[in-house]
Amino acid sequence: MTAALLGAGLEGAGVIVSGAAGDIGGATARALAEAGARVCALDLPGDALDAAVASLPGRDDHIALPLDLGNTGTIDAAVRDAADRLGTLWALVHAAAFLRRQAPVDVTEETWDAQLDVNLKATFWLNRVVGELLVARGSGGRIINFTSAAWMTGPMIDSDVYAASKGGVVTMTKGFARRLGPWGITVNAISPGQIETAMQRKENSAEAMAAVAANCPLGRMGSAEEVAAVAVFLASRHASFVSGATINVSGGLLMY
């Protein structure tokens, strides 16, 4: 355990991390595990999820939750079962998302629904069931959603539907923060800027990524681990009076 994670109050805490087989979700799951949390890794069924759970440090009782968030009808029961298996649920970190780049003229109802279902509808269902479980437990807790800088800047490079869904996440986060605050439950969102991930490398040329890095005041793209560190902070005792906030993790590329 690194010195920066000591005193976070996460030892033995049960935390559900969605998108745990991806870059940012995976880094977040590992960082929480390093801080002593027992992690429930949520992602699509398959080898990537199994490998993500197997790689988590610190404990040998982390668990997997294979779940397609596009099928929102399965979320409630699956999360309740996972919470039972965790034993002590403290936090949700919802990092999973789906992006389909299309010009507005090419957007179909199918691609609209696919992005809104995962990015916005599933966020509501996850926040609702975790909020209910935390209220019933009566010991407070944390909910951490993920949005995008596009919630403020608007869409870029044919991400109109994705940006709309992420704007909704910010609004929804504030609503749940107000509703759950009386029970000591904080609800916040993380807004990553340009982070070096497999998706970025797949969708952009090396030249485009270099241009993005040059535009950032820090002169580089961020790492998944830097985003994960913010998630650990928000899940920890150190963020006990932070709620309803959207935390900008963009290296200054976005300022407000």
Q: What is the pLDDT of residues 102-134, one digit of tens each?
A: 899 898 999 999 999 999 999 999 999 999 999
212 C-beta neighbours (distance < 10 Å), count: 17
Q: Does domain 3-249 have CATH number 3.40.50.11740?
A: no
Split at pLDDT 50, 70, 90, the class of 5 is: low
246-249/185-192 β-pairing: parallel
The amino acid occupying position 168 is G
Nearest to 193 by CA among 157, 162, 151: 151
Beta-bridge partner residues of 65: 42
3-state secondary structure of 26: helix
Beta-bridge partner residues of 66: 43
Nearest to 32 by CA among 82, 74, 95: 95
Give the active site residue among 90, 151, 162, 233: 162
Q: How far from chain centre, in Å, is Cα 249?
A: 13
> In whole angstroms, what is the distance from residue 27 CA to residue 72 CA?
25
Q: Which two tokens stand for residue 109?
A: 């109802």
Split at pLDDT 50, 70, 90, the class of 7 is: low
Residues 20-77 have pLDDT tens digits of 999 999 999 999 999 999 999 999 999 999 999 999 999 999 999 999 999 999 999 9
- What's the whole-number average pLDDT of the chain? 92
Give the domain ranges of the chain: 3-249
> In whole angstroms, what is the distance from residue 99 CA to residue 88 CA?
33
> Residue with structure tokens 């869409």?
155
38-43/63-66 β-pairing: parallel
Query: Taking the model in full, what pTM does it have?
Result: 0.92
Annotation says 256 is catalytic: no
> In whole angstroms, what is the distance from residue 256 CA to residue 254 CA?
7
